[in-house]
């Protein structure tokens, strides 16, 4: 076969150009991975700690309790009411409704990958998932009990729970306590881990992210989002003022101005401080921000860049960042997606 010289030269040029471009892209991706590894970390198998250990019996008990509404004052509210498996551990509401339709002060964050966070709740007024679960029993807008005696009496009346508490707390002669309720549910939540393609990328598999997603990751880093959204949770590690550059309520259209952490600490320097939310599974857990005031992820990305960094993102930047955030969606943990059978009352 005869190939015209011009064509051969063109092919050579093409190959060289393409080869160099590929080489450069590969080098860029290696650099991106290196950067990413210095900022983020892959999820562990579970969130157990030395102080908060997990056992199969503890997790099994906690899983049942998580789904049981009978310990709320009107027997309508389980943890799963506001943290529904089908909605990725949220309720898709701006603010959750608890017992007697009482409105919670803030948006319900997902329970998936939640235990990794520095504290619980938007203002960090719960130490950890165990503390959150115990205090929810008497939370006015959650379980609504006037004291711990009411839910503990109910728990004790359901015979099927007795062997489960016994197995979960073998050395405890009277294991049905508010603290153990929290320990069991907390242990369960420490197993709700949802690893995503981003974890594969961090593990070294460069093509676990698409070109758009990698570009989004680059933009996410260069724009400065990573100043707050970093670590294992891509957030969840610290408290920051929401509205560093511009008041958030002017951007979000929030109806009420929430003083955030200052409401708990009574310190003026904590005004408008909120926990930086983890962005894992963020594409599945709208609406956004502490008051659920923003419905779309695109809008939330624009507002966060504006309020926190003073940056007005272009459409391509928003598109790429949203693509990257989509790579943080993992599968529903199997022991969250599958309902436990609760002991029947006798």
Query: What is the distance between the alpha carbons of residues 338 and 161, in angstroms, rounded to a whole number?
Result: 19
Which DSSP state fits 274? E
In the complex with a copy of itself, the residue whose CB is nearer, 58 or 282, is: 282
User: Shortest approach of a copy of itself to residue 68 CB, angstroms?
Assistant: 7
What is the DSSP track for 75-123? S---HHHHSBGGGTTB-SSSS-B-GGGPBPSS----STTGGGSSSBSTT
93/263 with CB nearer a copy of itself: 93
Nearest CB to a copy of itself, comparing residues 49 and 75: 75
CB of 120 to a copy of itself, least distance (A): 23
Could you tell me which of 312, 258, 335, 338 has the C-alpha nearest to residue 290? 258
- Check whether the bond before 287 is cis (ω within 30° of 0): yes
Around Cβ 147, how many Cβ atoms within 10 Å? 10
Contact 187, 129 (CB under 8 A): no
Of 110 and 230, the one with the shorter C-beta distance to a copy of itself is 110
* C-alpha triplet 55, 121, 192: angle, nearest 5°: 30
Structure tokens at 48: 């157990």
| Contact (Cβ atoms closer than 8 angstroms) between residue 42 and residue 168 | no
Query: In the complex, which residues of this chain contact a copy of itself (CB under 8 A)?
Result: 64, 67-70, 74-76, 80, 84-88, 91-93, 97, 100-101, 283-287, 295-297, 332, 336-342, 344-346
Return the number of the residue (109 or 287) whose C-beta is nearest a copy of itself.
287
Q: Least distance to a copy of itself from the beta carbon of 76, Å?
A: 5
Q: Which of 212, 206, 199, 186 is nearest to 65 (CA)?
A: 186
C-beta of 338: minimal distance to a copy of itself in Å? 5
Q: Which is nearer to a copy of itself, 128 or 320 (CB)?
A: 320
CB of 298 to a copy of itself, least distance (A): 8
Q: C-beta of 13: minimal distance to a copy of itself in Å? A: 44
Nearest-approach distance from CB 3 to a copy of itself, in angstroms: 48
Nearer to a copy of itself, 76 or 138 (CB): 76
CA angle 122, 125, 128 (to 5 degrees): 90
């Amino acid at each position: 076969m005869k190939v015209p010289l011009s064509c051969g030269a063109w092919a050579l040029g093409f190959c060289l150009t393409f080869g160099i471009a590929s080489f450069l892209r590969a080098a860029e991706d290696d650099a991106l991975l290196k950067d990413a590894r210095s900022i983020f970390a892959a999820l562990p198998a579970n969130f157990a700690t030395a102080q908060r250990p997990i056992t199969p019996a503890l997790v099994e008990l906690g899983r049942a309790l998580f789904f049981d509404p009978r310990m709320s004052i009107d027997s309508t509210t389980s943890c799963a009411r506001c943290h529904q498996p089908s909605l990725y551990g949220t309720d898709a509401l701006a603010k959750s409704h608890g017992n007697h339709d009482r409105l919670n002060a803030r948006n319900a964050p997902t329970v998936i990958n939640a235990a990794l966070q520095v504290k619980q709740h938007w203002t960090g007024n719960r130490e950890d998932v165990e503390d959150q679960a115990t205090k929810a029993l008497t939370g006015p807008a959650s379980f609504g009990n006037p004291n711990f005696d009411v839910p503990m009496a109910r728990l004790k009346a359901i015979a099927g729970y007795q062997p489960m508490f016994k197995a979960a707390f073998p050395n405890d002669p009277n294991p049905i306590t508010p603290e153990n309720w929290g320990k069991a549910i907390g242990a369960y939540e420490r197993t709700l881990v949802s690893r995503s393609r981003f974890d594969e990328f961090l593990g070294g598999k460069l093509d676990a992210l698409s070109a758009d997603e990698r570009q989004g990751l680059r933009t996410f880093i260069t724009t400065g989002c990573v100043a707050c959204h970093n670590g294992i949770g891509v957030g969840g590690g610290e408290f920051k003022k929401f509205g560093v550059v511009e008041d958030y309520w002017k951007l979000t259209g929030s109806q009420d101005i929430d003083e955030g952490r200052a409401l708990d600490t009574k310190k003026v320097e904590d005004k408008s401080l909120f926990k930086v939310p983890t962005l894992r599974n963020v594409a599945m857990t709208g609406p956004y921000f502490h008051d659920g005031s923003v419905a779309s992820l695109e809008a939330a990305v624009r507002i966060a860049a504006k309020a926190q960094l003073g940056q007005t993102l272009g459409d391509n930047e928003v598109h790429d960042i949203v693509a990257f955030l989509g790579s943080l969606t993992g599968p529903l943990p199997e022991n969250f997606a599958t309902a436990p059978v609760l002991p029947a009352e006798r």
